[in-house]
Structure 1
């Protein structure tokens, strides 16, 4: 049986030896190991792929006894990561994820798609995924977020993906799903925050455009960055041409961020991330 062990601890000497020795004592074979020390904040991060018999073995509990106070440990199997996707009207990121799941290129189980407009229902149902339209019309942001959050909670997902969900989330919503919301932003953050980033980029005369996948916090477009990519543009590209090129980058970055998450290769480290390849 294959599993992935994640460890985030206050840094001290001998952490790797403590973890790997206990795995060895229980006959677990380490097939891959990555570690990183944030020396500025004294934090240790480790991702370990294990193969062996985990029956009647509470590895996390045993490790917790030998590691420093405040250590965070988790053990993950190979089962698909359960995801609920939120969307509005744009299809490219949502369609990109659904197609990759159909091709079995992502180890993700898309439980449902929730949108505030009905436009993407045919696309979603074409892949056999439940679709829920929860309109924001006539509702406050808090009221709408509560309805969406209740629908999400009914599915008990591991992650929530914002597939071009063009709504600013309320603090209560973010707090309820803290550390589990991944957004795709249509620019190379921290540049061009907010609305119409390609028009902002066009006016500034940039020579590259990009997309950023990040975890969501209560600061608009300022959550911990997971990954970014760029594509060159020229003086001949209009804002509309930039947006067209940008959609391809957004789709790719969003899918790759979800892939990293479902492979348990991400740690949130304050307002930064540790990403193992």
Structure 2
């Protein structure tokens, strides 16, 4: 079975169809979903959604787009909220210079607070990176020097150097439907270079639906399409890719209940 390691089930795009999409995910072989926080102020809704479904877990954090909206969210706040049993990650946080919806120094300060929370809790930090590779690399190197922390480069669409540095620092790299797009050969080349034991699959739903659903609302069931392409890129069977990425999820998101491993067919 597969895991959708990054989706946004709380978004209004799913308000009228949430139960249906969860059922479709299960039917498609997506046995677990991690719904990712973008605003700490909306965390109560995300937590309630995770509490209501045994196959849904969540994160807590502030997206760089919203960093200026939540400058008062502290590392201590993140650590306290992360104590909930359904919270298995910190973030998403990072740098986005494409939209620049928050000042870059504000994004960086928020990113560092999230890194500190990941370091304290041991939960993986879900990193958002867009058009900010050099600054992101600099922060990752500096912060790792203060002490290691687990992390994921989510929805990877950056350059080969960020992938190389991420792997060097022990990060996981997650690929979304972008990998399936016709003009994404450079990204597929990067994916081919990532070791099988450091790969994750995600949808980032409701965004970035993979081929053949491109242009439509994305949902966790479509993670299978990205996994098929990733398997081809890696030269392995779909079953091998699914088993590897699911095992990676349990290593990366170490707070996930071990009882789920047998249900997901993961050797423990």
The answer to which structure has the higher strand fraction is 1
Q: 1 or 2 for the larger relative contact order (CA 8 Å, sep ≥6)?
A: 2
Structure with the higher helix share, 1 or 2: 2
Q: Find the structure with the greater CA-based Rg.
A: 1
